[in-house]
Amino acid sequence: MTTPNFTVPQPLQPQHSGGSDKSHRSATSGHQAPILSRRSSVINAQIDTNTIGTPDPQEGRPRMHKRSLTGNYYPNGSDPAQSTWPIGDEKTWKDALAADEEKDTDTVTRHVVHHVSTTLARQAFNLDDAGAYRACAFSVRDELIRRWNATTSYHTAKAPKRAYYLSLEFLMGRSLDNAVLNLGMKDMVAQAMGRLGFSFEDLLDEERDAGLGNGGLGRLAACYMDSSATLNLPVFGYGLRYDYGIFKQLIDENGKQLEAPDSWLQEGSPWEIERPDIAYKVRFFGNVEWNDGKAYWWGGQEVIAKAYDVPIPGWKTKNINNLRLWSAKPIGGFDLQASYCSFNAGDYEKAVAASQSAETITRVLYPNDNTYQGKELRLKQQYFWCSASLQDIIRRFKKLDLPMTSLPDFVAIQLNDTHPTIAMPELQRVLVDEEEMEFEQAWEIVCKVFSYTNHTVLPEALETWPVPLFQSLLPRHLSIIYDINSRFLHDVSQRFPGERERIRRMSLIEESEPKRVRMALLACMSHKVNGVAELHSGLVKSVLFKDQVEFYGPDKFMNVTNGITPRRFVHQANPELSNLITQCIGTEDWLKDLSLLKKFEPFAQNPQVRKSFQAIKERNKLRLAEIVENELGIVLDPTAMFTVQAKRIHEYKRQSLNILGCIHRYLKIKQTPKAERRNICPHVAFFAGKSAPGYYIAKTMIQLINNVARVVNEDPEVGDLFKIVFIPDYSVSIAELLMASRKPAADVSVQISTAGTEASGTGNMKLAVSGALLLGTVDGANVEIAEEAGEEQCFLFGYLAEDVDEVRYQNQFNPSPIEQRSQACANAIQAVRSGMFGSGDYNPFLDTITEHGDYWLVSNDFDSYLEAERLCDEMFMKNHAEWIVKSMLTTSRMGKFSSDRAVAQYAEEIWNIEPEPVPEK
């Protein structure tokens, strides 16, 4: 790889002229005037304790953020060449900036050593791999920041329309390898670390996954941030900086999931930039008073949202986008309003408790919401994040000195699922209460600014909040939602007179006990609503939001099929496959235009290329087998078929079908005479995934998987014919081992959700692009993968989405014995009940299949699933040459599933933004 030619970023110029009153006074008076430290406790004003926690009416919105370090630094216009140098000697500054660039291996080495000795305060004598990783990461981050400053300054000067991506999860994975690849620095950095005595590959394993997400939602958001930067689109991400992330999954001696804190920030993160200059107040609870028709929200609890920035590099571009994460902090060390009386009364524990209450907001991702306190904390998280993000967006917009009516021309906000929907009434509150805009005009602006991505077809999964909770925590927002609902239902009644049931269905307020706010219906009032796969988007329009489609019209609802970034999920650490593709098609441009993979298809008929492709897969499987043996003590046959189901544990994803199928396979092996067992395809079933802490059925499934694995793996009669592996603490890095990068090892992609329940999925795409054949239902993006790859490359089974409701009805109201639905399934369940796999209480889980209507159609699809597995086994074992051809064809036909394609569609059809590449000079 050639050394990249970095351009010196344009100098950063503050908005002042270079002088200040302080420096002027010093020059004229001959001495420095005494100035109080910012941290000084000396004050000359008295405090009225009755005003603590209430805003000063003279101030209006408090401006916590005075000036961003990434703002507009060109005081004389947008052309930096026309700006005067702000301070000091210009040549000295520019020479120092140029000397600081990482141009070659020597300069990278010097930067790493500099960080070892200064940032880490270490020496060569006491530097281990962990320290070397951090020094290396800081050195790479230096280059990210240079380009990030150049990007931010250029976009500020150009003032394009920007898109803002609000996601409660950003599952970034490890950053070092991704950063050096995108910056074009990998060879240079690897050589530098080699000179210093460290293996770059070893250092990659020192990095911890950032605890900022849980599953596909967060991984999709991370891919979209990568693609936005690669496409030079001005996109800004907003999320939360969780102290502990989701949780660290442990498995106890009984096979049960245990949850432990994921202390991913224990040693800090070298990839984030703390921004003490960017902080906003966020209010909860309190009272709403009306005066002359204006609402005034005051009192309650206030916390500070403090910003941490994570630069996101694009592939082969100077553009670096930004992910801003908010951390909750108390005001002034502890919440003064809540603690003032307690502190002065000597109740210090109560005073500190208020501080802890503020910091709890960003302590963990998805706190358990089985209790009222858990629900309150979740809603607090969502409002805290949305309020801080909107304050930041509005602050940036106001630099343009344009009326608020121009907001939709410069701002597009994408809601990634329903979690950030509270941002819509929050923006309405700001426009009406603070900007004094008329309600109808403000709401028109809000609807133009926002768009909504739906990620579920399960009505019960759509987010709703109890009205009493909303009334307590966000009283002003509830009144705004009621006003929006009143106007909306009036319009509905005009369009559909007399249809009271329709009005009930479309109301933002569910008339239950207690009443609930329907966030998804509120999100549907936005500019555009999109699903994430063709099948899913069709169900969104025909089932989930049918009333909304009839009211708004079909043009508001569209499809944007999910995608993945090929840089991380092919190129980054499955370099052998990436290099093979590049050598065959003669260019690495496919990493930015995945449709070029189609040129790899003819090479499936080339014996030498097939042999190379197969050898890469075999080496990857061998490496995974070694890791499993070293970490879990399970010895695997690397020539066996590796099947992978790695995803969140949930009934609709049907790990239940997979493990019952594994039990059937085990029983069948035991029943087969030894002489005939050589005709059985050796098989390794990989499971990985976490259950929500309060999801009892899902946690029972994890226990069953682990206990079945223990029995199967220890049975000498079965030997290498069959193994089951549950890999704990599923993360992006684990996913990379199993399915997508860092040498993917899967032969078969198991995607077996009940038809019509999976919105899209991205794991299916990651596995397919690396050549894993699809074993799945006709659901989510499986449909489009089969269309692109060709159904002859896939093993599809099960009822179709249009048949599921009828089958469920029959299961519920005209049930037949499970033996009639599937004798094989009944036998597997009976084996569990018999105690063959331990004495765990599996009956509540098994009863959902046998006694309670089998809502997810496990027994109904079971025999079809076994037949698909049989065909899969037969081809893998008896016609492996054809298997390799199908694998290569699958890889070559996955060009549609790039996140670059998806983001480009968002930019053109929803956000209406244009690329803004930073010029080289």
Task: Assign domain 400-560 to its CATH superfamily.
Answer: Glycogen Phosphorylase B; (3.40.50.2000)
The predicted structure's pLDDT at residue 352: 63
Q: How far is residue 709's CA from residue 447's CA, in Å, rounded to a whole number?
A: 52
Q: Which active-site residues does the annotation give?
A: 455, 647-648, 653, 762, 766
The model's pLDDT over 556-565, given as tens digits with 9 standing for 90+, comes to 999 999 999 9
Answer yes or no: are the C-beta atoms of 304 and 330 closer than 8 Å: yes
The predicted structure's pLDDT at residue 348: 54
The pLDDT confidence band at residue 23, using thresholds 50, 70 and 90, is very low
Percent of the chain with pLDDT over 90: 74
The model's pLDDT over 70-82, given as tens digits with 9 standing for 90+, comes to 444 344 444 544 5
The pLDDT confidence band at residue 35, using thresholds 50, 70 and 90, is very low
Q: How far is residue 442's CA from residue 327's CA, in Å, rounded to a whole number?
A: 29
> Per the structure block, which two tokens stand in for 915?
């690329």
Cis amide leading into 514 (omega within 30): yes
The model's pLDDT over 764-818, given as tens digits with 9 standing for 90+, comes to 999 999 999 999 999 999 999 999 999 999 999 999 999 999 999 999 999 999 9
Coil, strand, or helix at residue 510? strand
The predicted structure's pLDDT at residue 74: 43
> Per the structure block, which two tokens stand in for 263?
């202390």
The predicted structure's pLDDT at residue 616: 94
Compute the average pLDDT of residues 326-349: 64
Compute the average pLDDT of residues 128-151: 94
The pLDDT confidence band at residue 116, using thresholds 50, 70 and 90, is very high
> Per the structure block, which two tokens stand in for 399?
């630099």
Q: Which amino acid is at 372?
A: Y
Compute the average pLDDT of residues 178-183: 92
Asked, colleague to colleague, whether 400-560 and 568-906 share their fold, the answer is yes
Coil, strand, or helix at residue 716? coil
Number of residues that make up the chain: 921
Q: How far is residue 436's CA from residue 135's CA, in Å, rounded to a whole number?
A: 51
Q: How far is residue 535's CA from residue 761's CA, in Å, rounded to a whole number?
A: 12
C-alpha 282 chain-centroid distance: 24
The model's pLDDT over 629-678, given as tens digits with 9 standing for 90+, comes to 988 999 999 999 999 999 999 999 999 999 999 999 999 999 999 999 99
For the chain, the structural domain boundaries read 60-157+183-200, 400-560, 568-906
DSSP-assigned letter for residue 917: P
Compute the average pLDDT of residues 552-556: 96
The predicted structure's pLDDT at residue 683: 97
Nearest Cα neighbor of 211 from 236, 238, 243 is 243
The pLDDT confidence band at residue 173, using thresholds 50, 70 and 90, is confident
Query: Chain-wide mean pLDDT for the chain?
Result: 87
Q: How far is residue 297's CA from residue 286's CA, in Å, rounded to a whole number?
A: 7
More confident residue, 729 or 350: 729
| pLDDT above 80 for 917 | yes
Q: Does domain 568-906 have CATH number 3.90.180.10?
A: no
Compute the average pLDDT of residues 809-836: 96
Least confident of 88-92, 398-402, 488-492: 88-92
Pairing of strands 529-531, 795-797: unpaired
The predicted structure's pLDDT at residue 335: 46
The model's pLDDT over 580-636, given as tens digits with 9 standing for 90+, comes to 999 999 999 999 999 999 999 999 999 999 999 999 999 999 999 998 998 899 999
Compute the average pLDDT of residues 34-46: 34
The model's pLDDT over 847-875, given as tens digits with 9 standing for 90+, comes to 999 999 999 999 999 999 999 999 999 99
